[in-house]
Structure 1
Amino acid sequence: MQRDVNLNRLAIFVALVRAGSFTAAAEQLGLTKAMVSQHLLKLERELGVTLIVRSTRRMALTEAGALFHADCLQLLEQAQAAIERIGDRRHTPAGTLRLTTSTDYGMAVLAPALADFHRLHPQLQVDLVINDQISDLIAERFDLAIRIGWLRDSSLRAARLGSFRQLTMAAPAYLAEHGLPRRPDELAAHRWIAMSALMTPLRWTFTRGSGSRHTVRMTQAMQANNAAAIRALVLSGAGVSVLPDYLVQEDIQAGRLQVLLAQYRLPEGGIYAVYPDPQPPAKVRAFIDFMRQRLAAR
């Protein structure tokens, strides 16, 4: 038959045996002698055995008490070790860092960053899941997600890591055939490759240094639901589109893509670490700090 035993009394029992008397145990535990005695009596009732025989002058463990004392010592040592291990995880990155992000950001930025992060923390294992859908961090047991753009309302915690610029891009071959747009309104006459995942993929507002705003409705030629796919279409000369700076820096430097309307700006997007734990472990805090520093140095 299963018994309900107050586990706190195990520690009092071990302290009593170690102290050798009710008076000494009471002093060490900060309790009264009567309270120590009551805890022992209740523990014996819960177990259904006598653990200690006592007289006015001395106390001694029964055979059952000696066996139970040995088991209690082992249990308390294991509990202390578990407390120390969880404390270590609070302060030292350990275990597996499981995180998720979008395909384009994962391939262009996060995978190289994780390689460098792992060199700093080789004791960590890393599990990166690339997915263009919004993952349920709790149900799928993710430590965090790196999300790009504008966050939806949620009960999750978020830390802003940095930002990215949105750039209007085209391939030189496309511009040679269709001409170079010099004002935002001229984009309406060009072949626009739309990001279907956006709420308004065909309407864009450009802001000049003077503060003047120009909203343009584009003419869609093609669409895709992934920034990496849109980049591939733009590179092939299929049309014009908006792409994040982190995805096209090498293309710009190599001359494969050209920034259009550089004197205008589109709204900047945010880069966020989103996580479910109100007290994130050391591995999550370390990665957030690492990414903040890395993005600030770009």
Structure 2
Amino acid sequence: MLPFMNLLCTRHGYVLVQMCQIKHKRLILFCLLILLQIRLKTFRLLLNTLYDFDKKMMLQNPCLWRALLTLPIHLYIVKKDLQVSENLGNGLLNMYVKFGDMDSAEKLFDGIDMKTVFSWSSMIEGYMQKGDWESASVFFDQMPEKDVTAWNVMLNEFIAGNDLAAAEVLFRRAPEKDVVSWNCMIAGYAENKNFTRSLELFKEMILADIRPDRITISSLLAVCGFAGAMNLGESVHSIMKKQNIMGEEVEVALMDMYSNCGAPDEAMKSFDDISIKSVWT
């Protein structure tokens, strides 16, 4: 078997071709050439190959471009048994997570001495995107310092998986909640047509002295429209004006709310008040 054909059977050659979903024969041969040069340690030739390759084709395959830039670096680090810095480690970790190669990501994670919130959050997000809730939960529970962003990552993934019961438990456990936390829950229940719970959470949010933003208002107006709760929709409209929460998505949501509640005059007035109208309006 030719050396470059044998290389295709190695773990990294297979992973690179698979995770980038490469179908173009020229790109596959290019990947094999790169990996062969890594194995032969001809790094100067490797750089020349990367420089000379068709730039247009590389721009059309950003996933491949990132992989070819980071994979050789990681292989060299492993070969030389070098210490992985915080920034480099997190960059490589993010690459493996995006490609769904959690085995490599976990091995790299174990080798990072100074793990940051980003390191832990990347692993949690990666496992949850693959549907491995158990592994994600293990990493989350082991995370030494969980800031509000880490809690929100976990919360958002539970909601994306339509596990609102688990999301609610996690939401109540969170020691700190910001507007993103509340928006996740309100929008999650709204998307699952549990409008009553969305509205209850909004009332809790106001009592907790959390200022709503455009995402909050858009979600609530959609809830009011679906539920036909025009009185509550008008209250949300009042909050929107009082706190000067504007923007096309909010104004369109307001128009839709009045329209869905059977108030065409108010819907037309809302349409007239939209400062910048687009094709979506």
Query: What TM bracket, shorter-length normalisation?
Result: under 0.3
- TM-score, structure 1 length as denominator? 0.22
- TM-score, structure 2 length as denominator? 0.23
Structure number having the greater helix percentage: 2
Instruction: Tell which structure's C-alpha radius of gyration is larger.
Output: 1
Structure number having the greater strand percentage: 1
